């Protein structure tokens, strides 16, 4: 009988990571995957386009939970996921990253005694005021299989007493980025559409609650971008949350072109050819490094410490980069295959 894996996804970066792992599960054979979309990200630009471009199978369930507060969102997901898990009775529940969808999936499974596998386990910003940090810690502490992107993540877990079921598999996001460059080069027309040439612009994204919940802080981020925009043009794909705020505050940084959120290939190609990345997104900090583009992180701390230590990323509160070097522990683009192998033979 096939091993039954129930995967929970809900937001943009999870569709990207799940696309790589879902393919590896299919290629491995002997695994049946039930894909559950919580509905946290729901429109074509934030969700649909990723399923199409990255050939992620349509979800078996869409729980349609979105646009409510953290507690309400997590609670509704928990209740609906419990129902799905009781019906499907999977051998594993697979969750990704650090979102409300992650923690709801992990908790629902743990309470039903279904083992949880967490991809991107062990990353820490050590800032518990961020919802994502709480989500990471809780998900890790109820997981049986902790699939770490880097050695630092393994060390972080050991500091919290978690050593069983911990595996350093590398970064599944790197698998996707590596495979996407040639495809993006062939298919993406984003540079032509925006009339941009390689190395002449920066890419910016801002959506994290710590920047968007406080209008004063948001104004400071926009002012920082304005300073940069006076030196070289910025392209900013705008998250729906940020769009609402920009509209209500009437704030647009100087030299900045606002565009709609992009699909994966256009975003990869835009990043690949940029001179710099300015972002508060965890995923984009790493992708900047994958494309060897320097990044400034618009946050006071980050869980992507490896990129900081390697001199490819700095916090906006820090004046300069550390000496530049390569990151050697993100894997070779086959991390998704390792995830599939560990689900089949967990080796606790």
Calpha distance 21→172 (Å, rounded)? 7
Residue among 6, 7, 8, 13 that touches ligand UD1 (CB under 6 A): 13
* Phi, psi (degrees; rounded to nearest 5) at 319: -70, -40
291 has catalytic annotation = no
User: In the complex with ligand UD1, which residue's Cβ is closer, 11 or 236?
Assistant: 11
Is 6 near ligand UD1 (CB under 6 A)?
no
Is 279 near ligand UD1 (CB under 6 A)?
no
Asked whether the beta carbons of 139 and 122 are under 8 A apart, the reply is no
Calpha distance 180→177 (Å, rounded)? 5
User: In the complex with ligand UD1, which residue's Cβ is closer, 17 or 41?
Assistant: 41
User: In the complex with ligand UD1, which residue's Cβ is closer, 53 or 98?
Assistant: 98
CA-based radius of gyration for the chain: 19
User: In the complex with ligand UD1, which residue's Cβ is closer, 130 or 340?
Assistant: 130
Is 66 near ligand UD1 (CB under 6 A)?
yes
Is 47 near ligand UD1 (CB under 6 A)?
yes
Contacts 24+ apart (CB under 8 A), 241-249: 241/207, 241/212, 242/206, 242/207, 242/212, 245/212, 245/215, 245/218, 249/215, 249/218, 249/219
The tokens for 155 are 């060390």
11-19, 162-170, 172-180, 318-326 -> range binding ligand UD1 (CB under 6 A): 11-19
Smallest distance from ligand UD1 to CB 165, Å:
24
Find all residues with CB under 8 Å of 74, minimum gap 6, and list them.
Answer: 100, 103, 104
CA neighbor of 102 nearest in space, from 152, 67, 146: 146
Calpha distance 220→338 (Å, rounded)? 42
Is 67 near ligand UD1 (CB under 6 A)?
yes
Asked whether the beta carbons of 8 and 102 are under 8 A apart, the reply is yes
Smallest distance from ligand UD1 to CB 104, Å:
9
Smallest distance from ligand UD1 to CB 270, Å:
16
Is 287 near ligand UD1 (CB under 6 A)?
no
User: In the complex with ligand UD1, which residue's Cβ is closer, 65 or 117?
Assistant: 65
Inter-CA distances, 26 with 4, 40, 327, Å: 12, 25, 29
Is 11 near ligand UD1 (CB under 6 A)?
yes
Find residue 36's DSSP bridge partners: 8, 61
79-87, 96-104, 165-173, 225-233 -> range binding ligand UD1 (CB under 6 A): 96-104
The residues in 169-208 that bind ligand UD1, with binding defined as CB under 6 A, are: 207
User: In the complex with ligand UD1, which residue's Cβ is closer, 131 or 342?
Assistant: 131
For residue 4, the SS3 value is: strand
39-47, 110-118, 228-236, 286-294 -> range binding ligand UD1 (CB under 6 A): 39-47
Is 214 near ligand UD1 (CB under 6 A)?
no
Calpha distance 168→150 (Å, rounded)? 6
Is 285 near ligand UD1 (CB under 6 A)?
no
Is 137 near ligand UD1 (CB under 6 A)?
no
Instruction: Give the residues lining the site for ligand UD1 (CB under 6 A).
Output: 11-13, 40-43, 46-47, 66-67, 98-100, 131-132, 207, 240-241, 281
Any idea which residues carry the catalytic annotation? Answer: 207
């Amino acid at each position: 009988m096939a091993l039954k894996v129930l995967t929970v996804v809900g937001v943009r970066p999870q569709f990207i990571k799940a696309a790589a792992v879902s393919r590896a599960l299919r290629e491995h054979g002997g695994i049946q995957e039930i894909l559950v979309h919580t509905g946290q990200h729901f429109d074509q630009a934030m969700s649909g386009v990723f399923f199409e471009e990255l050939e992620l199978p349509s979800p078996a369930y869409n729980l349609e939970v979105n646009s409510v507060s953290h507690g309400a969102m997590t609670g509704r997901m928990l209740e609906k996921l419990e129902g799905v898990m009781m019906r499907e009775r999977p051998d594993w529940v697979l969750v990704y990253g650090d979102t409300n969808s992650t923690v709801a999936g992990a908790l629902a499974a743990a309470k039903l005694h279904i083992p949880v596998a967490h991809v991107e386990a062990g990353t820490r910003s050590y800032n518990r005021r961020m919802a994502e940090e709480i989500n990471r810690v809780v998900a890790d502490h109820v997981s049986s299989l902790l699939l770490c992107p880097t050695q630092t993540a393994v060390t972080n877990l050991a500091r919290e007493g978690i050593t069983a079921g911990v595996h350093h598999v590398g970064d599944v996001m790197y698998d996707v980025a590596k495979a996407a460059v040639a495809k993006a080069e062939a298919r993406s027309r984003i540079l032509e559409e925006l009339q941009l040439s390689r190395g002449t612009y920066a890419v910016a994204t801002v959506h994290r609650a710590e920047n968007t919940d406080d209008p004063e802080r948001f104004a400071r981020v926009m002012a920082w971008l304005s300073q940069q925009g006076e030196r070289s043009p910025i392209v900013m794909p705008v998250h729906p949350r940020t769009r609402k705020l920009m509209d209500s505050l009437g704030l647009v940084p100087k030299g900045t072109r606002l565009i709609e959120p992009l699909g994966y290939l256009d975003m990869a190609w835009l990043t690949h050819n940029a001179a710099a990345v300015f972002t508060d997104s965890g995923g984009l900090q790493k992708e900047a490094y994958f494309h060897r583009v320097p990044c400034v992180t618009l946050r006071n701390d980050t869980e992507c410490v490896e990129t900081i230590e390697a001199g490819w990323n700095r916090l906006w509160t820090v004046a300069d980069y550390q000496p530049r070097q390569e990151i050697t522990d993100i894997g070779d683009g086959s991390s998704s295959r390792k995830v599939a192998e560990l689900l089949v033979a967990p080796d606790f």
